[in-house]
């Protein structure tokens, strides 16, 4: 099982390439001349960002405010740069896990490779393991949520993403937006 371990990375970000509606999402970690890029779904990026914020808020709450966890992303940790190149996908993410290492005051993020059910010989999927500070985790979350929000705007009626040509809205009984008023 290849383990891509970054403790800590010089950079850990979420990013996307392509046009809204056809974007491919990535997590990318870089340190000491190594670069690991893993592909995942938009919903996985959103879930990771949401869970990271929840985890940090809970750590802060349980510590009574004494934990070194910033409430907001520190401005000096903001990263708006594009993904690093060359962009070579190491694997596609299946499952992810988050933990708080209280001894080191770090978040540990693990993204495990998706394995087909038909591929029973692959018992050791690849893993990307990243250890980052609470501030870096807040900065990661802020960027990840911006990346997710930069997609197609939601339909005001049903919340599903709108394509340039509209979409078939379930709230309009199958009519395309704008066609129901005729």
Give pLDDT tens digits for 62-98: 988 888 899 899 999 999 999 999 999 999 999 999 9
- Residues of the chain above pLDDT 90, percent: 69
The residues that bridge with 129 in the sheet, in sequence order, are 5, 110
Q: Structure pTM?
A: 0.83
Query: Does residue 108 register a pLDDT over 50?
Result: yes
- How large is the average pLDDT for residues 42-48? 96
Distance CA(6)–CA(120), nearest Å, equals: 28
What pLDDT score does 178 carry?
A: 47
Mean per-residue pLDDT of the chain: 89
In the chain the beta strands, taken as DSSP E runs, fall at 3-6, 11-17, 24-31, 34-40, 91-101, 106-113, 127-133
Cα–Cα separations (whole angstroms), residue 39 to 50, 92, 127: 18, 5, 12
**Under 8 Å between Cβ of 144 and 135:** no
Residues 6+ apart with CB under 8 A from 117: none
Residues in the chain: 182
Lowest mean pLDDT among 27-36, 56-65, 157-166: 157-166
At 81, phi and psi to the nearest 5?
-70, 155
Query: Does residue 170 register a pLDDT over 50?
Result: yes
**Under 8 Å between Cβ of 3 and 127:** yes
Query: Does residue 175 register a pLDDT over 70?
Result: no
Query: Does residue 60 register a pLDDT over 50?
Result: yes
């Amino acid at each position: 099982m290849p383990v891509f371990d970054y403790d800590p990375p010089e950079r850990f970000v979420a990013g996307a390439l392509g046009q809204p509606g056809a974007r491919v999402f990535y997590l990318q970690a870089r340190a000491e001349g190594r670069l690991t890029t893993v592909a995942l779904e938009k919903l996985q990026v959103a879930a990771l960002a949401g869970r990271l914020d929840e985890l940090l808020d809970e750590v802060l709450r349980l510590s009574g405010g004494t934990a070194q966890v910033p409430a907001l992303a520190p401005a000096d940790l903001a990263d708006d740069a594009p993904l690093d190149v060359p962009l070579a996908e190491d694997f596609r993410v299946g499952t992810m896990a988050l933990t708080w290492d209280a001894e080191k005051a770090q978040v540990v993020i693990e993204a495990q490779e998706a394995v087909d059910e038909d591929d029973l010989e692959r018992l050791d999927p690849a893993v990307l393991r990243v250890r980052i500070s609470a501030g870096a985790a807040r900065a990661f979350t802020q960027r990840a949520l911006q990346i997710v929000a930069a997609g197609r705007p939601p339909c005001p009626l049903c919340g599903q993403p709108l394509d340039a040509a509209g979409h078939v809205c379930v709230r309009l009984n199958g009519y395309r937006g704008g066609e129901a008023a005729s």
